[in-house]
Amino acid sequence: MDRLISVEEAKNIINEQQIKKKILRVPVQDALGKVLATDLYAPIDIPAFHQSSMDGYAFSFKYWKQEQSLSVTHEIPAGSKGPLRVPETNAARIFTGAALPLGVDTVVKQELIELKDNQIVIKDPSISLGDNVRLKGSEIKEGEQAVAAGTVLGPATIGFLCGIGLSEVDIFASPSVAVIVTGDELKQPGTPLAHGEVYEASSAMLSAALLQMGINRVKTYYVKDNLDDTIIQLQNALAFADVIILTGGVSVGDYDFVVRAAEACEVEKLFHKIKQRPGKPLFFGRKSEQMVFGLPGNPSSVLTCFYEYVWPALRSFGGHEKQLKTLKVPLRISYTKNNQLIHFLKGYYDNDKVTILHAQESYRLRSFAMANCLVVLNEEMKTYLEEELVEIHLIPTYG
């Protein structure tokens, strides 16, 4: 009989697995949410030239005297080819983003001049050398590190990389995932139920969670409660995926075939059964570089085990931080559990206190649909009082 291991032991076993990360080169604009695999350096100075930061007039500060009029001899919009040269005693009409012509070094705002007969008089007594000019290389200099490996690429970082001229980046690739749903009683939504049948929710739920993680190489397999069929589909999944997630059939009943199928497919069992609720019969194994998770069949157990065990493992493939965000917060209402197992309970955290929601049974998803965290209650304690600090794991949000 399998020994029940602790939650800590189970998580340590998973965390200790060596993952060979795959590096993929992608267009910068396709890298949102991915982790950068290599350091990036600026290929050129940015800006690549001295640049006006506003609409105004460019002139040479050295050769200008207060109340002196300057002849406007050039007009320079953004994108003008050049370089042009402006005589030191003249000025150029210039617009935001345009390259400063040779011979000038300062820009005065257009609101702070008087213009008459193509002559300007500067009316800004506080102006100083270099005002309103973005110097060449002031954003970043050629060869300077732009972004370090390990950075999660967000919209601003993607914009920055495009702005320094980079079109592609090396990122850690997301894993491919196979979901195998087992059970004779399962029926797809939208079709009538016969007596004894239930609607299957786990595949859609897991696919949504994987898509939320940016994982889109996903295949779903449906298996009847039959050992041969389970073996065949597990073999198919192993031929495709880095990570295989099975739901149902993982306990020790007459119609539970996952563990036997894993053995037949030469998956090394690393643990089976944990001192927790829900999800006590959780299975984890490996075959070479591939991970295999056997989750319970009840949908609430599926999602709880996914977040606590599968989610961190999937994150490790992509180079991300591996654990759910954890907080210690006060309990709003006291709670008593009925056994000495670690409990992962659906909760709602309002940025002040956490409430343990109703409907904690493993077959019920209604409370999970309202939850934004999992409340972790340890093995030893049974009763938790109002205001007592408890650990919560925040469920990743979408949008």
pLDDT of residue 19: 87
**For the chain, what is the mean pLDDT?**
94
Examine the pLDDT at 250 and tell me if it is beyond 90: no
CA distances from 298 to 10, 63, 363 (A): 20, 81, 5
Asked whether 247 and 295 are in contact (CB, 8 A), the reply is: yes
pLDDT value, residue 12? 96
* Domain map (residue ranges) of the chain: 7-22+174-317, 26-45+141-172, 51-134, 326-394
22-42 per-residue burial string, b: 16 or more CB within 10 A, e: under 16: beeeeebeebebbbbbeebeb
**CA-wise closest residue to 4 among 309, 274, 293, 271:** 274
The domain defined by 26-45+141-172 folds into Molybdopterin biosynthesis moea protein, domain 2 (3.90.105)
CATH fold for domain 7-22+174-317? Molybdenum Cofactor Biosythetic Enzyme; Chain A (3.40.980)
Residue 1's pLDDT is: 56
Q: According to the CATH classification, is domain 326-394 in 2.40.340.10?
A: yes
Between 260 and 321, where is the model more confident?
A: 260
Determine what percent of the chain is predicted with pLDDT higher than 70.
99
Instruction: Of 350, 339, 349, 374, give the one whose Cα is nearest residue 360.
Output: 374
- Segment 303-332 shows an average pLDDT of 93
pTM of the model: 0.85
Residue pair 36/150 in contact (Cβ under 8 Å)? The answer is yes
Per-residue model confidence (pLDDT) at position 215: 93
Provide the pLDDT for residue 67: 79
**For 120-145, how does the pLDDT look when each residue is reduced to its tens digit (9 = 90+)?**
999 998 999 999 999 999 999 999 99
CB 292 within 8 A of CB 233: no
CATH of 51-134, one of 1.25.40.80, 1.10.1270.20, 3.40.50.150, 2.170.190.11: 2.170.190.11
What is the arithmetic mean of pLDDT over 247-253? 84
Residue pair 181/203 in contact (Cβ under 8 Å)? The answer is yes
Question: Which pLDDT tens digit goes with each residue over 157-210?
Answer: 999 999 999 999 999 999 999 999 998 898 899 999 999 999 999 999 999 999
Work out the average pLDDT over 80-94: 91
Query: Does this chain's domain 7-22+174-317 share its CATH topology with 26-45+141-172?
Result: no
Using CA atoms, how far apart are residues 257 and 292, in angstroms rounded to an integer?
14
Q: Grade residue 399 by pLDDT with cuts at 50, 70 and 90.
A: low
Q: Kind and range of the H or E element at 291? A: strand 290-295
